[in-house]
Amino acid sequence: MQKTLKKPELLAPAGNLEKLKFAIHYGADAVYIGGKQFGLRSNAGNFTFDEMREGVAFAEKYGSKVYVATNIIAHNENLDGAQEYYKNLYDAGIHAVIVADPALIQACREGAPDLEVHISTQASIANWKTAEFWKNEGIPRVVLAREVSVEEIREIKEKVDVEIEAFIHGAMCISYSGRCVLSNHMTARDANRGGCAQSCRWKYDLFENGVNDDTEVSDESDEMYTMSSQDLSMVEHLPDLIEAGVDSLKIEGRMKSIHYVATVVNVYRKIIDTYFEDPENYQLDQAWIDEIWKAAQRNLTTAFYYNEPTHKDQLYGKPERLPKYDFAGLVLEYDKETQMATIQQRNNFGVGDEVEFFGPNFFHFKQTITELYDEKGEPIDRAKHAMMITKVKVDQPVEYLNMMRKQK
């Protein structure tokens, strides 16, 4: 094992300003966001320039960075205004942009020559010669294709002095790093310009010879077929990527909830910090695995990191029943004298419910709600109204922005 390992950056998704703040509060070293143009998540909240400035100011207060994804594959009509857009990103304080298209790299260099450029996973970088090409073009960081193995990463780092960013958790595209036209064909929404309808995740019947033959292979008792992958998770194998030299460990999910972002970031932050406390004696904690499953929406796989994926890594047949958790409330305040927490309701909860509180640094405890009051201090049985302010008697001290969840 290398003796002088560099602690990697933990990079989290942020679909809007609230998610950005939660990602950083729960331990992200950097976040990546989308603006109103040139990004692949057109349905995410996405940021105005004013929101970017606020996000950058918040991040820098915690020593974190903000990157903007401008990773579409551009057509001619997409190029108008690109130079000005990058200048505005630079003026907003953005630390780097993630780009796939050479035309947009050029636009960035012309509009904001001091703005750092990272090459997106959309560029499908899967070998050291390609990484070397971008290094020679003055690019400091490349985001690898999801199709590379741990051994290939190790070789790239040995042969090229370039920063490597690699995905550790989240959804996998069934096509080669997003190069897909299913969505275009079926919905006229361009997957490579931010409009993916996720057609691979739809359910399909199987037919003998295509559209002109109505001989159906499957029957009503069969599980319908999808073309979808399980989600990536490296929670059990993170030291392998650290020791291979990955500089930035990336979580997918700009469209996910703040509960998902906080939970996943919290787990990987704990793993990274625990590993670097004593690499030689690092041991995986089952509690980290259990915690990841509280945010998981699909079965999990290590994808291409160790072997070529098989049918076992696909979402096929009846899905396993994963435990489902509701983000029930957000802690706004805590009174240590009364042991009462002020909680903003995010999902229905009430007296008699078993809930779990959690927060940064892998803080957790479970309890049953025994006392619940509305904002005026009147006792109530349930918090039924969205975003209502409540008071809850808690068994242990809690802090601002701790979360409360309950199993469905």
> Which residues, other chains included, contact 320 with Cβ-Cβ below 8 Å and sequence gap of 6+?
299
pLDDT at 111: 97
Write the DSSP string, 81-106. THHHHHHHHHHTT--EEEE--HHHHH
| CA R_g for the chain | 23
Helices H, strands E: what count in the chain? 10, 19
pLDDT at 173: 81
Cα–Cα distance between 284 and 277 in angstroms, integer?
Answer: 13
Class of domain 9-172+229-313: alpha beta
Query: For the chain, which residues make up each domain, given as ranges?
Result: 9-172+229-313, 325-407
Cα–Cα distance between 343 and 9 in angstroms, integer?
Answer: 32
Helix then strand then coil, in percent of the chain rounded to 5, is: 30, 25, 45
168-199 burial, b at 16+ Cβ within 10 Å, e below that, comes to bbbbbbbeebbebebbbeeeebbbbbbbbbbb
| pTM to 2 decimal places | 0.91
Contact call for residues 127 and 145 (beta carbons, < 8 A)? no
pLDDT at 323: 72
Report how far apart, in Å, the C-alpha atoms of 97 and of each of 69, 107, 377 are.
Answer: 6, 12, 48
Contact call for residues 38 and 111 (beta carbons, < 8 A)? no
Q: Which residues of the chain have pLDDT under 50?
A: 1-2
Same topology between domain 9-172+229-313 and domain 325-407: no
Strands 325-335 and 248-251: unpaired
Cα–Cα distance between 115 and 91 in angstroms, integer?
Answer: 10
CB burial class (10 A; 0-12, 13-18, 19+) of residue 332? middle
355-379 confidence digits (pLDDT tens): 999 999 999 999 999 999 999 999 9
Tell me 162's DSSP state.
S
pLDDT at 2: 45
pLDDT at 316: 74
Cα–Cα distance between 216 and 267 in angstroms, integer?
Answer: 45
pLDDT at 374: 96
pLDDT at 213: 59
- Bridge partner residues of 67 (DSSP): 32, 96
Kindly report the backbone phi and psi dihedral angles of residue 337, in degrees, each rounded to the nearest multiple of 5, phi listed first.
-70, -40
Cα–Cα distance between 6 and 246 in angstroms, integer?
Answer: 9
Cα–Cα distance between 46 and 52 in angstroms, integer?
Answer: 9
Cα–Cα distance between 183 and 347 in angstroms, integer?
Answer: 33
Kindly report the backbone phi and psi dihedral angles of residue 41, in degrees, each rounded to the nearest multiple of 5, phi listed first.
-125, 75
Kindly report the backbone phi and psi dihedral angles of residue 99, in degrees, each rounded to the nearest multiple of 5, phi listed first.
-130, 145
pLDDT at 42: 56
Topology of domain 325-407 in CATH is Elongation Factor Tu (Ef-tu); domain 3 (2.40.30)
CB burial class (10 A; 0-12, 13-18, 19+) of residue 68? buried
